[in-house]
Structure 1
Amino acid sequence: MPETGFDMPACLERVRRRDEEAARMLFQELYPLVIKLVRSHLPRRTGEEDLVQMVFMKIFTHLDQYAGKVPFQHWVSRIAVNTCIKVLRAEKVRPEVRWADLGEDEGHVLDLLASTQEELNPDQSLASRELAEKLMALLNPEDRLVMNLLTMEGRSIEEVKQITGWNESVIKVRAFRARNKLRKHFKQLMREERR
């Protein structure tokens, strides 16, 4: 995180002593990081503010478990990502998207992608993003997380490693398998559209 003049160790010590003002300051300092992570891993049926609240409850509840071996923001990131994964698992996302599930704009984008090599114009990019999100929702939470971090956010393998705690091989294998699953689902949609 950028240097803000915020004294994290002192604030954490005050929060551990139940200082409410320090807890508010810590919340304000961490909110941008947590909301960014939540938005990039947002489950379908859970509102982002509800999820942010869950993350902060876990942070404050488990603050005594923070040993200081990693930067505090990394510890918070891991809590946020794990909370999102658990909520995604709990939602048990439906395992497929059918052509009938797509909106008119998404169907049009899919037709365009199948029939041309041209770039999408800006009014079609929203529909293509929605289509991509529907396809991403078909992945299991861990694969979706890796694809979001690597592809959507453009993070490096090293950054993904720090956020998830997974080793480099696991990250690469998950990304490879997730890409193959996305291709399979996309081809399935294309076959269904041609019927």
Structure 2
Amino acid sequence: MAGSPIIPPLPDLLAGCLRQNRRSQELLYRQFYGYAMSVCLRYTQTREEAVEVLNDGFLKVFTRLNQYNAEQPFKPWLRRILINTATDHYRQTVQYHSQHDLIAAEHISSSDADAVSGLSHEYLLSVVQTLTPAYRLVFNLYAIDGFSHDEIAGQLGISVGASKSNLARAREKLRLILQKKTNDEYARVAR
């Protein structure tokens, strides 16, 4: 592709970033922008909010790159920083979000684990983004990124029961939304 920069190998980029070379930082940002944005979009409600988390996350990458172990893959380290940044962003803006969904600890069972087959990535992302911030955060941390309820509770400063409750409620809400979509599609076909 004409005009596209030639991106050096990752170790060279990281070495340049450690020297605070702006060109290396820009190339690293460009190389991982799509991946990083996909992570951030899962944790935010709007694209603008995702861009804010992404930029804050890359700032942390550039200032903490000396903590990265080059013997480990870079993407999981980047993902962890982005998730932590999204969690920090949530905690900083929690005053604007409803608090009641973090306090309840009622267990709701969910049985439709495979209800998402055949749905587009964009649709699923938009459905997850309809969840309240607390539900979305716990759902993403647990179901997508593999955090335990103990880890989630520690990161968010909530009880393990609240984490489990938020996950159950998020799953139930997602199930209802997906069930409604399915019912609406059947109704259209039946006409």
Q: Calculate the TM-score normalised by the size of structure 2.
A: 0.56
1:100-137 C-alpha deviation (Å, 9 max, x unpaired): xxxxxxxxxxxxxxxxxxxxxxxxxx7x9867644443
How much has 1:18 moved relative to structure 2?
2.4
Distance 1:168 1:41, change over 3 A: closer
How far apart in 1 are the matches of 2:28 and 2:172? 44
How much has 1:81 moved relative to structure 2?
0.7
How much has 1:10 moved relative to structure 2?
1.4
How much has 1:53 moved relative to structure 2?
1.1
How much has 1:89 moved relative to structure 2?
2.0
Q: Report the counterpart of residue 62 of structure 2 in structure 1.
A: 60
Mapped pair 1:181 → 2:177:
no
How much has 1:67 moved relative to structure 2?
1.6
How far apart in 2 are the matches of 1:36 and 1:58? 18
Match of 2:137 among 136, 141, 152: 141
Letter in 2 for 1:180: A
Distance 1:16 1:53, change over 3 A: same
How much has 1:33 moved relative to structure 2?
1.2
Which secondary structure does the structure 2 equivalent of 1:62 belong to?
helix
Identity of aligned residues (%): 19
**1:24-43 superposed matches below 5 A:** 24-43=26-45
Letter in 2 for 1:33: Y
How far apart in 2 are the matches of 1:132 and 1:8? 32
Letter in 2 for 1:145: L
Distance 1:56 1:132, change over 3 A: closer
Letter in 1 for 2:76: H
How much has 1:15 moved relative to structure 2?
1.6
Q: Report the counterpart of residue 86 of structure 2 in structure 1.
A: 84
Letter in 2 for 1:86: D
Q: Report the counterpart of residue 177 of structure 2 in structure 1.
A: none
How much has 1:179 moved relative to structure 2?
4.4
Distance 1:46 1:145, change over 3 A: farther
| Unaligned runs of at least 5 residues, structure 1 | 98-125, 150-159, 187-195
Q: Report the counterpart of residue 108 of structure 1 in structure 2.
A: none
Confirm or deny: 8 A CA contact 2:134 2:166 kept in the other structure: no
| Aligned-residue RMSD, C-alpha | 4.0
1:25-76 C-alpha deviation (Å, 9 max, x unpaired): 1111111111111111115696222221101110101011112242011100
Q: Calculate the TM-score normalised by the size of structure 1.
A: 0.55
How far apart in 1 are the matches of 2:48 and 2:71? 32
How far apart in 2 are the matches of 1:12 and 1:136? 37
Match of 1:94 among 59, 82, 98: 98
Confirm or deny: 8 A CA contact 1:37 1:81 kept in the other structure: yes
